[in-house]
Amino acid sequence: MAQKLRVSQGGRWYRYSWGNEGPPIPLRQIVGNSANMHMVPADIAAARSLERVGAGDVVRIDGWLIRIDGDEGWHWQSSLSREDSGAGACELVLVCSIRSL
């Protein structure tokens, strides 16, 4: 059933869509169980681990949701909810370690 769900990413935006028959699973379930996560490696080992992750891999990521503050006053804040979608709903993750499951 989930094969009828189309998922794509462009720029920094994550998108999901479906055909004329409507969503294959309830929209609340799609939003609550999918995410656009931006990974920030904590160190070179985490960066190398991130580079090795491929499509279809199942991994456990240990880290922290973060906020990044720039020198010019801008900031990028991770979402803290699994029930949001749209602008500002992405997670910004400081990746400390990754392991295959």
* Binned average pLDDT, 10 residues per bin, the chain of 101 residues: 79 84 88 88 97 93 95 92 82 95 93
**What value, to the nearest 5°, has the Cα angle with vertex 44 and ends 64 and 100?**
65
d(CA 68, CA 48): 21
Question: Do 61 and 21 belong together in one domain?
Answer: no
Question: Do 42 and 3 belong together in one domain?
Answer: no
Taking only the tens place, the pLDDT of each residue in 47-68 is 999 999 998 899 999 999 999 9
Question: Do 8 and 40 belong together in one domain?
Answer: no
Number of domains in the chain: 2
Domain membership of residue 26 as a residue range:
1-34
Question: Do 15 and 43 belong together in one domain?
Answer: no
- H/E segment holding residue 40: strand 37-41
Question: Do 60 and 29 belong together in one domain?
Answer: no
